[in-house]
């Protein structure tokens, strides 16, 4: 593994793990896994995160081709420093994970109740022939899979971790960023699905935010110093 690939992989892995643990999509995966088959929830959430990681890396890789590498490097430096200060502020402000977990749970509860009612009514209309024809498709594109995918995908859109991935891919080896991001997403999502709500409530959001903030600032300083050296 080349140095640039290893550096992109390591940075992306560390950034992803510290950004995603205790995130809204982490809580959503944990709660969904308590109510639905874990296999479908895990595959839906992971698929969305993999697609999002690849899309973000492609945007970051293309950025230096659209504007000068010097400017993309400056923007990346500012992004890392800004996200670092943002994470540290979140930690100091002390808005705990309990509020975020309650918010996600309330949304999923409302969705669960409405879908439960409609599912019971619709189930009576389904006959055996329709069920057989749809059996294979529903294994991969069941409402649960699509729900987990859509909640995760739109929950991550415009999120701090997505923007940081774009910035990282613009500055580091994009392939390494994708590999590190996917591994980090897989670790966090698997932990959320297997650990469930009990694990989610035991995570200290303050420590995660502090660690993530320090990591972002280190990346920002490193990026700034590389600019000065060149």
Mean local confidence (pLDDT), 153-175? 85
Mean local confidence (pLDDT), 202-217? 77
Q: Quick one: pLDDT at residue 36?
A: 82
Position of tokens 């891919």?
169
Mean local confidence (pLDDT), 7-17? 90
Is the per-residue pLDDT at 175 higher than 90?
yes
Q: Quick one: pLDDT at residue 50?
A: 92
Is the per-residue pLDDT at 169 higher than 60?
yes
Task: Tell me what percent of the residues of the chain surpass a pLDDT of 70.
Answer: 71
- How does pLDDT run across 113-146, given as a tens digit for each residue? 565 544 444 444 444 445 555 555 555 567 888 8
Mean local confidence (pLDDT), 147-152? 87
- How does pLDDT run across 69-85, given as a tens digit for each residue? 677 777 778 887 887 88
Q: Quick one: pLDDT at residue 183?
A: 95
18, 215 Cβ separation under 8 angstroms:
yes
23, 127 Cβ separation under 8 angstroms:
no
Q: Which residue has the higher pLDDT, 53 or 225?
A: 53
Q: Is the pTM of this model over 0.75?
A: no
- How does pLDDT run across 22-32, given as a tens digit for each residue? 777 887 888 88
- Name the band, by pLDDT with cuts 50, 70 and 90, for residue 53: very high
Q: Residue 185's closest CA among 7, 4, 19?
A: 19
Tell me the longest C-alpha to C-alpha distance in the chain: 70
Q: Quick one: pLDDT at residue 186?
A: 92
- Name the band, by pLDDT with cuts 50, 70 and 90, for residue 196: low
Is the per-residue pLDDT at 226 higher than 80?
no
């Amino acid at each position: 593994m080349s140095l640039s690939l290893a550096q992109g992989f390591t940075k992306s892995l560390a950034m992803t793990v510290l950004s995603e643990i205790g995130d809204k999509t982490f809580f959503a995966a944990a709660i969904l896994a308590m109510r639905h088959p874990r296999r479908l929830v895990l595959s839906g959430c992971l698929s969305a995160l993999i697609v999002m990681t690849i899309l973000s890396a492609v945007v970051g890789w293309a950025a230096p081709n659209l504007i000068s590498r010097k400017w993309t490097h400056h923007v990346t430096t500012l992004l890392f420093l800004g996200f670092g200060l943002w994470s540290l502020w979140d930690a100091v402000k002390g808005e705990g994970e309990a509020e975020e977990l309650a918010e996600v749970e309330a949304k999923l509860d409302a969705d669960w109740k409405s879908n439960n009612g409609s599912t019971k009514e619709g189930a009576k209309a389904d006959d055996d022939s329709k069920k057989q024809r749809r059996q294979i498709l529903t294994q991969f594109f069941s409402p649960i899979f699509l729900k987990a995918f859509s909640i995760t995908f739109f929950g991550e859109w415009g999120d701090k971790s997505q923007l940081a991935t774009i910035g990282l891919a613009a500055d580091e080896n994009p392939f390494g960023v994708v590999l590190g991001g996917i591994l980090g997403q897989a670790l966090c999502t698997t932990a959320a699905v297997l650990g469930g709500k009990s694990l989610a409530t035991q995570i200290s959001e303050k420590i995660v935010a502090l660690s993530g903030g320090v990591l972002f600032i280190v990346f920002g300083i490193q990026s700034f110093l590389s600019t000065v050296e060149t």
